[in-house]
Amino acid sequence: MKIVIVGAGEVGKYIANTLTSEGHDVYMVEQNPDNVKNVQDELDVQVIQGNGSRPQVLAQAGINKNNNVDIMIACTNHDEVNMLSCWIAHNAGVQRIISRAKNLEFTDSPDWGKKLGIDLMISPERSIAREVLNLLAVSSATHTAELLNGRAVIYTFKIQKNSPLINVALKDIRTIYKNLTVVIVYVENEKGEGIVPNGFTVLKEGDTCYVVTLKNLVWQLEELFNPEAETQKLKKLFIVGGGKLGTQIAQGIRRDFGNVQLRLIEKDVLKCERLAEELGEALVLNGDGADKKLLSDEGIEEADGYVCATDSDEINLIYAGLAKKMGVKKSIAIIKQKRYQDLSEKLEIATVDPNEALASLILRVVHYPGHSRALSIIEEINAEMLEFIMPENNELTGKTLAELKLQKGVLLALMARENKIIVPTGATKLLAGDNVILFASSDLMRKAAELFGITKNEN
């Protein structure tokens, strides 16, 4: 396919790199000369320097009256540029159009996108806010993503020294903990060596496990990985940054955690006044999120969580690390740049990547239009989780998982059938309409999806 990407920031580069590795013909439109040079140095794509909202610039990428572009993706940081470039692409005859929207009001209703010819308008802030809330709720987790419309989740836990799971084979977990719906889809040891496990894989102290479980069981699961984890009800939380994401997180906290004591710290006085009206009983403080006296006066050492959600990765990392040193139980930084991800473990903080979430959503639509409900890209371990509905009249219908003989590196994590969630075994039969969560390493996902009748778009 020929794909045009407007915007060569972190999201655009991530998507372009994935699509070029699959053999697609990718053109990028970018106004910033520094970004243009970076793309030219790093990626095998055609780059047009210019404003993506100008017809003359898009025409250079093939979006014109003789249009030969299959997909256009607008992912700059400016909504107006994205929407205008989508409108131009629609009028030129581009078949599928995807746009990023930073302002939440544009995604509150699908009408905005439809009127401009946009097939999908995505704002990652809502999904990022949910991820932050899930991380706050589970103190030991370092990564999370929702599945099955929020009924199930994938969490990352490290096996601590007192865990009863040490030296236990995965096949025995179901016998020992019969009421625990859990599938461990990936295990990484302390040396950084990882595998997609089988039933005979034995867990060791220090292993990092990617675990799929039901949302209402996650605290029980956390106690197995870390018996010393404090799973008490959240009482006090801090947010730094009163922008769109910080506001979304604050609103989610008020909604999900009830009477928690919420402190939101913001430097801009006018924003503070607006947020004080919007957030009700939350305490909005005009100040600096790294002000030790302010944090100490407000009780950071007894707080359950601290989230730094400013527009600066550097500030978010430094501030979150400082809060952790001052005693907060869990500290989270919003980080967009990959080069900073490795610092999180050294600082003993969790990180959330909005760009990764946005790229996952866009690639799902590009790869599996009309089929999958969700595609979660877990870049840390080069793996993917694909959620889909088992198609009608598939040749696998009625077969057991044992009969499928899935290759190493591929497994079915969970299945939802009617109102029941199933941990599949070798004897589990596939039925049309089953909601399936498929886990595979990224290089195997395409063939694995095809096996279940989910064809990756190659047009």
Determine the straight-line distance between the first and last CA of the chain, rounded to whole angstroms.
5
3-state DSSP assignment of residue 97: strand
Mean pLDDT of the chain: 87
Q: How far is CA 449 from CA 8, 76, 292, in A?
A: 29, 30, 51
pLDDT exceeds 70 at position 230: no
Beta carbons of 356 and 377 less than 8 angstroms apart:
yes
The answer to whether 151 and 420 are in contact (CB under 8 A) is no
| Res. 373: pLDDT tops 80 | no
Average pLDDT estimate for 307-332: 95
Residues 6+ apart with CB under 8 A from 23: none
pLDDT at residue 256 greater than cutoff 80: yes
Q: What is the pLDDT of residues 276-305, one digit of tens each?
A: 999 988 999 999 999 999 999 999 999 999
pLDDT at 354 over 50: yes
Q: How confident is the model at residue 16 (pLDDT cuts 50, 70, 90)?
A: very high
Cα separation, 141 vs 239, whole angstroms: 19
pLDDT for residue 372: 47
Q: What is the mean pLDDT of residues 24-48?
A: 94
| Other CB atoms within 10 Å distance of the CB of residue 258 | 9
User: What are the residue ranges of helices labelled H in 382-428?
Assistant: 401-404
Q: For position 358, what pLDDT does the model report? A: 77
Dihedral sign (CA 442, 444, 450, 453): negative
Whether 370 shows a pLDDT value over 70: the answer reads: no
How far is it, in rounded angstroms, from Cα 304 to Cα 234?
Answer: 6
User: Can you list the alpha helix ranges (DSSP code H) found in 116-176?
Assistant: 125-137, 170-176
Q: What's the pLDDT score for residue 10?
A: 85
For the stretch 97-126, pLDDT in tens is 999 887 756 555 556 677 778 888 887 777
- pTM (2 decimals)? 0.75
Question: Does position 352 have pLDDT exceeding 50, yes or no?
Answer: yes
